[in-house]
Structure 1
Amino acid sequence: MPSLRWAAVVALAANLINATPTIAAEAVGRAVVIKTAVTGATGPLVVSAPVHRDERIRTSNTGLGQFVFRDGTKLAVGWGSSVVLDKYVFNDDNSVKKLTIRAAKGTFRWISGNSPSSAYQIVTPAGTIGVRGTAFDVHIAPNGKTAVVLLKGSARFCSGGGCRELKRRCDCVVATPSGAMSDVIKVNRSVLT
């Protein structure tokens, strides 16, 4: 009987040593619209589901997800998209000290919340978008080619090819992961093809 107890203690100790603690990441916002299939780290997302720091959100080829962060920032994730809520540091005054999103592919709409513009950063395969209290759309093709279209406010897009300032409604810039970048132009159908 003592050997049976000893075996149980050894088995329990082995399980405790090999166990990895699971710490839930900080909830940084919630889903407000979910259409067809949108998944997060734990599986399918539903309306009112929390989204967490470091969580990857993916949409199906017909999916759409809209999310509101704690500071009022809104992010819409279009069909066939993938984005990671990479860095999120919240201040005590209901504002964000740092919010970084890594957009890998797909289509997104960003609308700034109540935090200082310098707190926001969107990283794409072709460059980084600095937010200036604004709303804009982003499309990232499977090859990483990125188009940014300003809807309101202003934004700055920087890559290996330098930086471009988007200041007027419908200003657009297109960049590739190799560093090639267009001048800022008015968006039109030929740009988006």
Structure 2
Amino acid sequence: MNWRNYILAALTICVSSQTDAAFAQAPARIGEAAVVQNEVIRVSGSGGTQINVGDAVLRNETVRTGAASATRLVMIDSTNLSLGANSSITLDRTVFNDERSYKDVTIRMTTGAFRFVTGHSDKNAYKITTGLATIGIRGTILDILAQRGRTTVVLQDGASRVCTLNFQCIELTQPGDTAIITSSANGGVTIRKSNNPPWTFASNCGAAAGLCTTTEFADASPTFTPAMIEDPNGILCGR
């Protein structure tokens, strides 16, 4: 092999290995911000950074809205997730089925008001949790209000199964069906069903243009720019 072919071969190996490593180490991009109104923060330690329209949403990330703020996130399978003011959500677990759908995804709604509209993944892939409930999805639009000591789940379309953490469950099958989970001072938890919802996310829809619409996810391809370092053999590699 002459020296030109050697360099080309070395560069190919170097770029390939460094590219694979960069993708393996980079946080998975699982969605993006489609609507941002005022303070929408990517939480990091005791601080955070502002999220803007078009910014990526990453696996294992917590997103928080401030007062008079709201956001709509679009996941790679075109699930739309809207957050009202003073809301916090963690994208706890994500296993990709392919580049446009999930095999397994868990969303933890810590506090606040949310609207969840399912996308193209198998509905069994989704699990939503609050401090008091787990929520199963079956082709669904759900309004969810997570408060201290109380979770309200309102079915807008489709069907859902709502369970307490000790496996008391209610089936929501008709628009307006509502599960209300309440904890008491002695640690007990109750769940009841109503068809007269005390709250819906509609009260938040005027907070930002497009907050309560749905859109398809356009491009979920991660990007990175590797820095250049020198290989022991004298070849520059990306890292």
TM-score range, shorter chain: 0.7 to 0.9
Unaligned runs of 5+ in 2: 1-24, 202-239
- Per-residue CA deviation, residues 104-145 of structure 1 (Å, 9 max, x unaligned), is 10000000000111000101011100011100100011x231
Q: Which moved more, 1:156-165 or 1:74-83?
A: 156-165
Q: Which moved more, 1:155-164 or 1:105-114?
A: 155-164
1:121 matched residue in structure 2:
127
Q: Secondary structure at the match of 1:134?
A: strand
Bigger-Rg structure (1/2): 2
> 4+ residue runs of structure 1 moved beyond 6 angstroms?
none
1:13 matched residue in structure 2:
none
**Is contact 2:34–2:72 with CA below 8 Å preserved after alignment?**
yes
2:190 matched residue in structure 1:
180
Q: Secondary structure at the match of 2:114?
A: strand
Which of these residues, 146, 150, 158, is aligned with residue 163 of structure 2?
A: 158
Q: Does 1:167 align with 2:167?
A: no
- Structure 2 counterpart of 1:152, one-letter code: D
1:3 matched residue in structure 2:
none
1:190 offset after TM fit, Å? Answer: 8.2
Which of these residues, 101, 108, 114, is aligned with residue 102 of structure 1?
A: 108
In the alignment, the residues of structure 1 paired with residue 90 and residue 53 of structure 2 have an alpha-carbon distance, to the nearest angstrom, of 19
In the alignment, the residues of structure 2 paired with residue 43 and residue 147 of structure 1 have an alpha-carbon distance, to the nearest angstrom, of 30
Unaligned runs of 5+ in 1: 1-22
**Is contact 2:177–2:197 with CA below 8 Å preserved after alignment?**
no
Q: What is the alpha-carbon root mean square deviation over aligned residues?
A: 1.9
In the alignment, the residues of structure 1 paired with residue 114 and residue 122 of structure 2 have an alpha-carbon distance, to the nearest angstrom, of 21
1:61 offset after TM fit, Å? Answer: 1.4
Q: In structure 2, do the counterparts of structure 1 residues 175 and 93 end up closer, same or farther at CA, with 3 Å as the change threshold?
A: same
1:35 matched residue in structure 2:
37
With structure 1 as the length reference, what TM-score do the two structures score?
A: 0.82
**Is contact 2:29–2:57 with CA below 8 Å preserved after alignment?**
yes
2:10 matched residue in structure 1:
none
Identity between Structure 1 and Structure 2 (%): 35
Aligned residue pairs, count: 168
With structure 2 as the length reference, what TM-score do the two structures score?
A: 0.67
Which structure has the higher relative contact order (CA within 8 Å, separation 6+)?
2
1:185 offset after TM fit, Å? Answer: 1.3
**Is contact 2:154–2:197 with CA below 8 Å preserved after alignment?**
no
2:208 matched residue in structure 1:
none
